[in-house]
Amino acid sequence: MKRRNCILAALLACSLIFTSGCWDQVEIEDLAIVRAIAIDYLPGRRAPYLVTLAIKRPAAMGQQEGGGGGEQVVFYAGVGASIALAIEQAATHIPRRIFLTHNDLVIVGEQLAKHGLLPVLDFVVRNPDMRLSAFLLIAKGTGQELLHTAERLEGSITEEIHGLIDQAEDAAETQPVPIFRFLRKITTPGEEAYTVVIQASPLPKDKLPAANGEGAQAGEGGGNGGGGAKQEKSLALAGMAVFRSDRLAGILNHSEARGKLWLAGMTTRGIMAVDDPVHPEETVTLSLTRSQTKITPSVQAGRISFRVEVEAEGDLISQSSQADLSTAEMIEKLNSAKAGAIKVEMEKALQKMRQLETDVVGFGAILKRREPKIFREVADRWPEIFVEVPVEILVKANIRRTGLQAKPAQPLSTAK
Amino acid sequence: MLEKGRISPRQTGQLLFITTIATVIFFAPSLIASLAGHDAWLAALLGPMFTLITLLLITWLGRKHPGQTIFQYSETILGKWLGKAVALLYVWGFLHIGAMAVREFGDFMTTSFMSHTPISVFNFSMLLLCAWSVLVGLEVIARMNEFIIILIVSFLLLILFFSLPNWELDYLLPFFARGPLPVLQAALIPAAWHGNIIVLAVILPFMTRPTRAFLAGTAAIFASTTLLTIGVVGMTAIFGPELSSSFLFPLHLFAQTINIGQIITRFESVVMTTWMAGIFIKTSVFYYCAALGLAQVLNLKEVRPVVLPLGIILGTLSISLFQDVTMLGNFLKETRPYYTISLYFLGLPLLLFAVTLIREKIFGVCFGEQTNEA
């Protein structure tokens, strides 16, 4: 018995050698941890895919606080006839093994998005290292340029993008979409996919002169243009990229994107402005806290139509006039003004979607759920039918609270 | 007696539960979705209908022939040579299903986790462990399973729970849009895995209370059906039926979608643990049944001499049965349900049942019951 235990112990000890694996052995010191991957398309070339990998610099690991401005990610790029080949080419320059497991940003350049996202999606699903919960972002311009934007607040550009995404989950009109949701939308009949656009744009303070007069632009290009070349850029999530199948159809701006979200029934947070009911030249700012959308398809004599009912709640957060808006009558007026503003946003979004012939709200999918037989007849022609289908929009808005003051404080001189 | 250990009805139920759920939840969901679309969950729920027939047959046969395994009573019923042929057919069946389970495991490991490691490493190390558990006997497997079941069930529930924020139940609609036929056809797929309950025909005589066999089997079927149905509902709600049917291992991708606050992510390794533990129990049980069967057919005094040869056959089969993962997928979807159900899960038990009835009613032979075993 004792001898048997000895043999067993020896066997167990031997197994320790193999627990780290033989063929797939991984040492953390040998890994190049990819934090973001940007994929671009270079039209007219035999190797059209340009892949840029943002790799965390090993020295930066573990001393993130005291880095003192050192660059935390290093970029490597490669081109190839497929994404995997491009990565392979980049790998020849990287002294470590590419480790994609910690990558949760997939940034796709505008050109590639227009060309079609299928190669990207295929790569992500097939490769066991990539995760389906990674966010898909469409870059205005190329993804590579976007990654090369200088970071401002965080230690690295990838951290900066992460921060933007985290914040955007509250702001909702620029919702980043994980890849599995995108995939689900493009595979579901009667529904098209969308995701967020990311853009490097000049900071508002740099924009200001341009707003004052046309001279600013010429000035930038001319003699005192030193500032123009150095113009700092910062990243922003700038609207919603909508797709037709796997191809980029167009980009919705902020208010259109919010209109789309009203239609799709996602709770949107944010603020919007309406005219003051007493002094129409002033504005009242309202917040949006909660909303509910109901879409009902109806089919009468073979004619498909939809009815969208939205109920939106929110608070009054500021007013620029001194009128007392805290009366029932005023609130009623504000409610209908807000409902009107929401309806305008929704109609604009719908108009844009029709113009781009892409049903990102998924009216077709809703029809399929309620009336599967009717949808089956029109499924093949759905994009054409969607453009002409009448949609009735009904909005009900409620202002629930007025912040910590009911009516504006009245300075003595103007009080009447 | 080849097996001295005894297992309780509860342990039997647990063993049956793990042998079915371990593989069905990994492979079946996407196959079901590809046939039944939005109604995949309904198909998953209907699957056990077929299995209950099998269960009824084998518990009835077990009661007629107390203390005998299917290998022994097929001989009692059909006579020496025909009976041995049926018993050998079952030995082959257990080997085949066991080899498939090992192959599924190996393919999963090489595609999802360790792409550079040859599949034989996974298959043979798994079989080595299984061979050991077969040598120590059924009781040990059953007791080990009592621990493993906690691991598997809690991990599966954990994955389902954490993925809840990603569910969109709208994708389950429309309900019953394509009519009953695709649903019934798809229901055969989970049935092919639930049919694994046939191992009860081997382990039934080793139960402390064989009368509870039917109860144990039913509980196992319902538990695994429930878990499978929840899994299928979740998969459809996360991916939609069109997308999920394109996946190879939907549960693995299912776990990939989990992302709670950037912290609770990457649950794939949990999936791997569950899968590995489950496959271990499942293969051990099938390996055990095959070894016991062969020993009984050959009238051996103990199981030991056949374990190693069978292990080598299993290992070789697990590698040579399928050339690639596409072939495995097609076999699982198109051939396996019809082959296993018609032969092992329904065909042969029905034959034994019919012959027993005919011999009793027409020829007046009286089987077993007079021994009155407690």
User: Which residue of chain B comes nearest to A374, CA vs CA?
Assistant: B177
CA-nearest residue to B167 within chain A is: A181
Q: Is B5 helix (H, G, I), strand (E, B) or coil?
A: coil
Q: At residue A134, what are phi and psi to the nearest 5 degrees?
A: -65, 150
φ/ψ bin of A393: left (φ > 0), alpha (ψ from -120 to 50), beta (otherwise): beta
Residues A48 and A44: their CA atoms lie apart, in Å, by 7
Which residues 316-345 of chain B have a CB within 8 Å of chain A? Answer: none
Please answer yes or no on whether A132 and B173 come within 8 Å at the CB atom: no
Nearest chain B CA: its distance from A318 CA (Å): 32
Q: What is the pLDDT of residue B374?
A: 36
What are the b/e assignments for B83-107, b being 16+ CB within 10 Å?
A: bbebbbbbbbbbbbbbbbbbbbbbb
d(CA B342, CA B58): 15
- What distance in Å separates the CA atoms of residue A189 and residue A359, rounded to the nearest whole number? 10
Query: CB contact, 8 Å: B182 with chain A?
Result: no
Q: Which are the contacts of B284, defined by CB distance < 8 A and separation ≥ 6?
A: B130, B133, B134, B141
User: How large is the average pLDDT for residues A152-177?
Assistant: 77
* Cα–Cα distance measured from residue A291 to residue B280, given in angstroms and rounded to the nearest whole number: 50
Task: Say yes or no: A84 contacts chain B, CB-CB below 8 A.
Answer: no
In angstroms, what separates the C-alpha of B348 from chain A's closest C-alpha? 41
- Partners of B116 on chain A (C-beta within 8 Å) are 23-24
β-pair partners for B344: none
Question: Which of A22, A184, A373 has the CB atom closest to B239's CB atom?
Answer: A184
Of 1.10.540.10, 1.20.1740.10, 1.10.10.10, 3.40.50.10800, the CATH number of B9-373 is: 1.20.1740.10
Residues 144-163 of A with CB under 8 A from B: 162
| Distance (Å) of CA B151 to CA A295, B25, B158, B217, B349 | 43, 15, 10, 21, 33
Q: Which residues of B are less than 8 Å from A246 in CB distance? A: none
The stretch A201-209 carries a mean pLDDT of 65
Q: Which residue of A has its CA nearest to B259?
A: A133
CB of A187 within 8 Å of a chain B CB? The answer is yes
CB–CB contact B257 A132 (8 Å) = yes
Domain boundaries, chain B: 9-373
Verify whether the Cβ–Cβ distance A178 to B257 is below 8 Å: yes
- Give the burial class of B271: count Cβ atoms within 10 A of its Cβ; 0-12 exposed, 13-18 middle, 19 or more buried: buried
> What pLDDT, on a 0 to 100 scale, did the predictor assign at position A267?
62
Secondary structure (H, E, C), A69-135: CCCCEEEEEEEECCHHHHHHHHHCCCCCEEECCCCCEEEEEHHHHHHCCHHHHHHHHHCCCCCCCCE
Q: What angle do CA A60, A63, A69 make, to 5 degrees?
A: 65
Complex ipTM: 0.80
Asked if A128 and B112 come within 8 Å (Cβ–Cβ), the reply is yes
Asked if B116's CB is within 8 angstroms of A125's CB, the reply is: no
pTM: 0.83
Distance CA A143, CA A113 (A): 11
- Nearest by CB to B114, from A23, A178, A183: name it: A23
Nearest-CA distance A61 → chain B (Å)? 18
Give the Cα separation of A79 and A41 in Å (integer): 9
- What's the CA angle centered on B289, arms B8 and B210, to 5 degrees? 30
Q: Is A21 on the interface with B (CB under 8 A)?
A: yes
Whether the pLDDT of residue A282 is over 50: the answer is yes
Instruction: List the alpha helices (DSSP H) in chain B.
Output: 9-36, 40-46, 48-64, 70-78, 80-112, 119-136, 138-163, 180-194, 200-203, 213-244, 250-256, 268-297, 304-320, 325-330, 336-340, 347-361
Shortest Cα–Cα distance, B357 to chain A (Å):
49
Cα nearest neighbour of B250 on chain A: A125
Could you give the CA distance from residue A51 to residue A242 in angstroms, rounded to a whole number? Answer: 23
pLDDT value at residue B324: 83
Domains in chain A, please, with CATH?
A: 28-203+231-252 (no CATH), 254-416 (3.30.300.210)
Q: Amino acid identity of B11? A: Q
| B residues 99-128 lying closer than 8 A (beta carbon) to A | 111-118, 121
Query: How many other C-beta atoms lie within 10 A of the C-beta of residue B184?
Result: 16
Q: Does B246 contact chain A (CB < 8 Å)?
A: yes
pLDDT of residue B312: 92
Residues in chain A within 8 Å Cβ distance of B117: 21-24
Residues of A in contact with B258 (CB under 8 A): 133
Report chain B residues whose CB lies below 8 A from the CB of A11.
Answer: none
Q: Is the pLDDT of residue A208 over 60?
A: no
B260 interfaces chain A, CB cutoff of 8 Å = no
CB-based contact (8 Å) between A369 and chain B?
yes
pLDDT, one tens digit per residue, over B333-358 is 788 888 888 888 888 888 888 888 88
Do residue A132 and residue B112 have CB atoms under 8 angstroms apart?
no
Contact between chains at A131 and B170 (C-beta distance less than 8 A): no
- Do residue B266 and residue A131 have CB atoms under 8 angstroms apart? yes
- In terms of phi and psi (left: phi > 0; alpha: psi -120 to 50; beta: otherwise), the region of B339 is alpha
pLDDT mean over A75-88? 91
Tell me, yes or no, if B304 comes closer than 8 A to chain A by beta carbon: no
Yes or no, beta carbons of A128 and B171 under 8 Å apart: no
Contact assignment for B246 to A187 by CB distance below 8 Å: yes
pLDDT tens-place string over residues A251-268: 888 888 888 888 887 666
DSSP-assigned letter for residue A404: B
Cis ω for the linkage preceding B174 (within 30 of 0): yes
Interface probe with A: pick from B108, B117, B175, B243, most Cβ of A within 10 Å: B243
- The answer on pLDDT for A293 being more than 70 is yes
Which parts of chain B register pLDDT below 50? 370-374
The shortest C-alpha distance from A385 to chain B (Å) reads 21
Per-residue pLDDT at A29: 81
Q: How far apart are CA A260 and CA A257, in angstroms?
A: 5
Q: What is the pLDDT of residue A254?
A: 81
Looking at residue A21, its pLDDT comes to 66
How far is the alpha carbon of A133 from chain B, nearest alpha carbon, in Å? Answer: 5
CB–CB of B174 and A23 under 8 A? no
Question: Using the 8-state DSSP alphabet, how is residue A150 labeled?
Answer: P
Higher pLDDT pick, B366 / A101: A101
Q: Per-residue pLDDT for A414 more than 60?
A: no
- In angstroms, the Cα distances linking A212 to A215, A216, A228, A281 are 8, 8, 16, 22
Residue A324 has pLDDT above 80, yes or no: no
The CA distance from B127 to the nearest CA of chain A, in Å, is 16
Does A131 contact chain B (CB < 8 Å)? yes
What integer pLDDT is reported at residue B94 of this predicted model? Answer: 92
**Which letter does DSSP use for residue B341 in this model?**
I
pLDDT surpassing 70 at residue A41: yes
Pairing between β-strand A233-244 and β-strand A194-202 as defined by DSSP bridges: antiparallel
Joined tokens for residue A151 = 């970071």
Query: What mean pLDDT do residues A287-297 have?
Result: 84
pLDDT at A231: 54
Under 8 Å CB pairs connecting chains A and B tally to: 73
Q: Which two tokens stand for residue A121?
A: 């999606």
CB atoms B173 and A369 under 8 Å:
yes
Residues of A in contact with B238 (CB under 8 A): 180, 184
How much is the pLDDT for B369? 53
Q: Which residue of chain B comes nearest to A131, CA vs CA?
A: B256
Residue of B nearest to A162 (CA): B262
Q: Which residue of B has its CA nearest to A373?
A: B177
Say yes or no for a CB contact (<8 Å) between B243 and A187.
yes
- Enter the tokens of residue B364: 């007046």
Q: What is the pLDDT of residue B250?
A: 81
What whole-number distance in Å separates Cα of residue A196 and Cα of residue A241? 6
Nearest to B45 by CA among B172, B136, B207, B132: B172
Report residue A141's pLDDT band, with 50, 70 and 90 as the boundaries. Answer: confident
